[in-house]
Amino acid sequence: MITLRQLRYLSSLARHRHFGRAAEECAVTQPALSMQVRELEREIGAKLVERRPGDIVLTDVGLEVARRAEHILASARDLVDFARHREVLAGSLKLGIIPTLAPYILPRVLPLLQKQYPHLRLDVRETQTRTLVDELAGGGLDVVLLALPVEGAEVETLPLFEDAFLLAVPADDPLPARGRVGIRDVDQRRLILLEEGHCLRDQALAFCAPKRGDASGQTASLGATSLSTVMQMVANGYGVTLVPEVAIDAKALDPRVKLLRFRDPEPGRSVGLAWRKTSPRAGDFVALGQAIVAAHDGAASAPVKLRSRA
């Protein structure tokens, strides 16, 4: 009989493509994991893994079994959640969050959650959107905080707040400190973006992409792994960038950077939560969303002094 343990081992093997790393993730020995995968192959009656020296490759059947195993494991986790979680935001909760939100939202919301929900055990996973959505679908995460919409996944979503984009330029940039700017004010040849894979990069490109026939050209080839790095590059005169308002800390704002607002309609992103449609913990996620909004609104109540607010 096929067991959840065997499916979990195969799922880990599919992610890591390495018996040793999969065994480490599953907290078992490599021979034990390999034996269970072989037993699964016998039960199914098909070869799932091609074993090579120092490497493994899943067969076509193995890939499909691993894909279906993700859904089975997620459903099993939802079943356990249904039985265990009766109190709102109590017990374990695995939260995924994108890097362009984590450093700015978590310091505000974690103390609030600890105070309001003392029985909550929160595990946080910070990584890029595609990985978070895959792990959510596979049951590795309970809920994710990211930019909406979420595509290609059977999820429920809860919009929380709108996050406007601002134009960050060096303080000595000739753009006027008062008044609002437009897309043509963005020097695309000096536009610094996060590296590939960050949804904020895609959103910035969608707004700043040159119109057809516009010879103003390409965006800068520079890229970075964090917003703090991008802002340091702007502060030192290497270019300009779009920065989400949630990331602006008035107290720590570098005086070498000037922030400008865009004319309406302002570019931005919708921030929200996403979870599996099959999860029985919608009440928990709504409560989590309320806490995030309360923390965000509390921080927003102290307005950032933007030079272009007028």
How far apart CA 157 and CA 272 sit, in angstroms, is 7
How far apart CA 48 and CA 56 sit, in angstroms, is 10
Amino acid at 16: H
Amino acid at 310: A
Amino acid at 297: D
Output DSSP code: residue 150: -
Q: What is the mean pLDDT of the chain?
A: 85
Look at residue 269 in the predicted model and tell me its pLDDT: 94
The tens digit of pLDDT for each residue in 267-289 reads: 999 999 999 988 888 999 999 99
How far apart CA 73 and CA 8 sit, in angstroms, is 7
The tens digit of pLDDT for each residue in 63-115 reads: 999 988 888 888 887 777 766 656 789 889 999 999 999 999 999 999 999 99
Look at residue 290 in the predicted model and tell me its pLDDT: 95
Band (pLDDT 50/70/90 cuts) for residue 231 is very high
Predicted TM-score (pTM) above 0.75:
no
Look at residue 274 in the predicted model and tell me its pLDDT: 96
Amino acid at 214: D
CB 8 within 8 A of CB 73: yes
Kind of pairing between the strands at 91-97 and 143-148: parallel
Domains of the chain: 4-82 (1.10.10.10), 89-161+269-300 (3.40.190.10), 163-268 (3.40.190.10)
Band (pLDDT 50/70/90 cuts) for residue 301 is very low
| Exposed / middle / buried, residue 269 (Cβ in 10 Å: 0-12, 13-18, 19+) | buried
